[in-house]
Amino acid sequence: MTEPTPKPSPPRLPKTAGPKRATTPKPRAKRKARRRPPNPALAWARRLARYRPRLLEDTLDRLGELYGRPVWERRLDPTSELVLTILTQNSADINAEKAFVALRAAYPSGLAPEHHRPGIGWGGEGLPAGAPPDWAAVEEAPLAELIDVIRPGGLGPQKAPRIQATLRKIREERGDHSLEFLGEMEPLAARDWLTSIPGIGKKTASVLLLFCFNQPLMPVDRHVERVAKRIGLLPAKAPPDLAHDQFIAMLAGTPDKTYETHVLLIHHGRVICQARSPKHDLCPIRDRCRFVDPKAP
Ligand code: SF4
């Protein structure tokens, strides 16, 4: 038997590309319009105006009736105001006054005396009349000596280097220690300039700019923060940094009321709405305060 011869396999055909298909362009997906992230300070001010109308106005009217409407008046030159404010950081105003008086005595400038008019928001007695210290001498003083001079104010070892670094930065940038130029600047730009100095936050910068130039920047210290959060002018968990801007947004329509707002709230926090035992019965804002009534209008 002979073996069957295998069938030849069909020749392979070369692959052809074939006719090109016309491709229809895909419609481009519409770009979503990017929404700007909401400004949290502005958003809060709008929400408050919508759900609790006239809360800030009522608060100011009632506190103004009780304590009188404070009128802005410059109380010190800006460099003195800045150093005095540094001295008040974590210290009672009355002790900061003692340290400032000691600075004047240790580094006399011979300039014209200033008259400190602290007004009702200040927790000390007011400085006696006196010339501002010689800031160049304060900047160049041996650190140990300066710590000793400001010791009556408390926290001398922390504050003395901060004061010297602040004075140094001002002189290096401006040629002298004067801060009068800040009065010519746009308020937020002036605040930025000050907060670029290490150890100067929004609160200290706003104190200087409000008290020396009546710029509409609200310093939120512990009294202002406590009273405002209790009433509901600030959200309960507002971080201090944001609280400053929330007040700016709330006062955007009436920036000239910033001084009055600060002074009335701080004074109320000192005399009636104290941290430990607030005197609700004496308080003119009671019916609008969320601390005593969580559903207050
Ligand atoms: S009612 Fe009481 S908690 Fe509210 S603001 Fe007045 S004192 Fe403060």
Q: Which residue has the higher pLDDT, 47 or 19?
A: 47
Ligand 1 atom with the smallest distance to the CA of 278 is 7
pLDDT in tens, 226-249: 999 999 999 999 998 999 999 999
For residues 144 and 151, is the Cβ–Cβ distance under 8 A? no
Q: What angle do CA 55, 290, 267 make, to 5 degrees?
A: 65
Contact between residue 166 and residue 197 where contact means Cβ atoms under 8 Å apart = yes
For residues 15 and 294, give the distance between their C-alpha atoms in angstroms, rounded to a whole number.
81
* Predicted pLDDT of residue 235: 96
**Structure confidence by residue, pLDDT tens digits, 172-223:** 999 999 999 999 999 999 999 999 999 899 999 999 999 999 999 999 999 9
pLDDT of residue 118: 85
Q: Categorize the per-residue pLDDT at 55 as very low, low, confident or very high, splitting at 50, 70 and 90.
A: very high
| SS3 state at 108 | strand
Distance CA 202, CA 192 (A): 8
For the chain, the average pLDDT equals 90
Share of the chain above pLDDT 70, in %: 89
pLDDT at 29: 60
Nearest CA to ligand 1 atom 4: 289
pLDDT of 18 above 50: no
CA 86, CA 153: separation in Å to the nearest integer?
A: 10
Q: Measured from the CB, is residue 62 less than 6 Å from ligand 1? A: no
State the distance from the centre of ligand 1 to the C-alpha of 277, rounded, in angstroms: 10
Location of structure tokens 């290490």:
198
Ligand 1 centroid to Cα of residue 268, in Å, is 9
**Where along the chain do its domains lie?**
40-71+219-288, 78-213
Residue whose CA is at the smallest distance from ligand 1 atom 1 = 286
Whether residue 296 contacts residue 287, with contact meaning beta carbons closer than 8 Å, is answered with yes
Q: In CATH terms, are 40-71+219-288 and 78-213 the same topology?
A: no
Q: How far is the CA of 282 from the centre of ligand 1 (A)?
A: 9
**Does position 33 have pLDDT exceeding 50, yes or no?**
yes
Asked whether residue 32 carries a pLDDT value surpassing 70, the answer given is: no
Query: Looking at ligand 1, which atom is closest to the CA of residue 283?
Result: 6
Higher pLDDT, 5 or 235: 235
- Residue written as token pair 């502005």: 42
3-class SS of residue 133: strand
- The answer to whether the CB of 186 falls within 8 A of the CB of 213 is no
* 17 has pLDDT over 50: no
Going by CA atoms, what residue is nearest to atom 6 of ligand 1? 283
Per CATH, is 78-213 categorized as 1.10.340.30?
A: yes
Average pLDDT over residues 10-15: 43
Q: Where are the alpha helices (DSSP H) in the chain?
A: 40-51, 55-67, 78-88, 93-106, 135-140, 143-149, 156-174, 187-195, 202-213, 222-231, 240-250, 258-271
Task: Name the packing angle between helices 240-250 and 202-213 (round to 10°).
Answer: 30
238 lines ligand 1 (CB under 6 A): no
| pLDDT of residue 28 exceeding 80 | no
For the domain made up of 40-71+219-288, give the CATH fold.
Endonuclease Iii, domain 2 (1.10.1670)
- For residue 19, name the pLDDT band (cuts at 50, 70, 90): very low
Rounded mean pLDDT of 106-112?
94
201, 204, 223: which is closest to 212 by C-alpha? 204
